[in-house]
Amino acid sequence: MKYQASKTRYEEMKYSKCGESGLKLPRVSFGLWHNFGSNAGYDNMKELCFTAFDNGITHFDLANNYGPVPGSAEENFGRILKDDLGVYRDELLISTKAGYTMWDGPYGDWGSRKYLLASLDQSLKRMGLEYVDIFYHHRMDPDTPLEETMMALDTAVKSGKALYAGISNYDGETMEKASAILKELKCPFIINQNRYSIFDRTIENNGLKKSARENGKGIIAFSPLAQGTLTNKYLNGIPEDSRIKVDGRFLKEDVLTEKKLGQIRRLNDIALNRGQTLAQMALSWVLKDGDVTSVLIGASKPSQIIENVGIVHKVEFSEEELKMIDSISLE
């Protein structure tokens, strides 16, 4: 039976302006970093996307190298667009990135003009799209002039292949330099994508969060659940079906020390007192002060998406709660 989106999909989700731009992002966005590669089931991928959109998640975030294998997440999402979601294209916000290794040789990595523009063409072909809404440079490149990389993003936008430019994994100082270049080019650079969670405060320490606020740019946070450690999955130790046991590429078993497990349990107690799950509280925490436009979630089951979108009406914290979270997570 052909998919039809829920008629109530916009009733609960909240949308926030991305910096000083006119673009609004859902408070919860859906990332296809995991569970959309060549090793995943297509029917489950479809259900994940349908569940996200039915609950007001309009933003689907990809990158050229998402898989495994690299490129397969875009190919699978392109198939979902062709089969079902494509009729809703103008309601969707689709982003992709280039910056990590994608193909062999000197032109398939980092931030050169040749790599970025070739990669964007490949991404559009894999997804069957004429344009993406946001095209990101995925990481800082110490060997390519920043002007070259930013001019490539500007070309992507002015060619009509992207509507907005973004950068990912930049620090505050480099973001300010990039912003100045793109402002001079009159390129709509609107968003930073960075890791941010209760357990990872890097963007507070490297100036990115402060610089984004002062320069009128949005932030979208990936890994807001710290690779699943800020969920109820590890309250009783490490289950055999967890990502650590099954994959282990991004989250290592030695991260979950007894100290860390104790922190997780104490944070869970705070969440329960708030009437939230630990995952919900962790997502709410990222959004608490308005500097972060949206949180990027991943999911392996539709039920996880439904749980996570439940945060949209509860992102406020008392001073006491914030002090308790800091005392636990920063000890």
Tens-digit pLDDT profile for residues 37-70 = 999 999 999 999 999 999 999 999 999 999 999 9
Q: Please check whether residue 256 lies inside any domain of the structure.
A: no
Q: Please check whether residue 232 lies inside any domain of the structure.
A: no
Is 60 exceeded by the pLDDT of residue 248?
A: no
Q: Please check whether residue 145 lies inside any domain of the structure.
A: yes
**How large is the average pLDDT for residues 265-278?**
97
Is 60 exceeded by the pLDDT of residue 245?
A: no
The token duo for 168 is: 């990912």
pLDDT digits (tens, 9 = 90+) for 114-131: 999 999 999 999 999 999
Residue 150 structural domain: 15-224+289-313
Closest Cα partner for 312 from 278, 275, 279, 287? 287
What is the value of pTM for the model shown?
A: 0.94
Q: Please check whether residue 236 lies inside any domain of the structure.
A: no
pLDDT score recorded for residue 166: 98
* Residue 93: half-sphere exposure toward Cβ, Cα within 13 Å: 21
The token duo for 223 is: 């890994």
Is 60 exceeded by the pLDDT of residue 132?
A: yes
| Mean residue pLDDT across the chain | 95
Write the CA distances from 213 to 19, 113, 146, 154, 219, integer angstroms: 8, 28, 21, 22, 9
* % the chain with pLDDT above 70: 95
pLDDT score recorded for residue 244: 62
pLDDT digits (tens, 9 = 90+) for 172-211: 999 999 999 999 999 999 999 999 999 999 999 999 999 9
Angle at 30 between CA 72 and CA 42, to 5 degrees: 40
pLDDT digits (tens, 9 = 90+) for 23-36: 999 999 999 999 99
pLDDT score recorded for residue 192: 98
The answer to whether 281 touches 267, Cβ cutoff 8 Å, is: yes
* % the chain with pLDDT above 90: 91
Is 60 exceeded by the pLDDT of residue 18?
A: yes
Q: Please check whether residue 251 lies inside any domain of the structure.
A: no
Is 80 exceeded by the pLDDT of residue 239?
A: no
The count of structural domains within the chain is 1
Q: Please check whether residue 48 lies inside any domain of the structure.
A: yes
Domain of 31, CATH number, reads 3.20.20.100
Q: Please check whether residue 54 lies inside any domain of the structure.
A: yes
pLDDT score recorded for residue 203: 98
With bands split at pLDDT 50, 70 and 90, how would you rate the model's confidence at 88? Answer: very high
The answer to whether 190 touches 165, Cβ cutoff 8 Å, is: yes
Q: Please check whether residue 239 lies inside any domain of the structure.
A: no
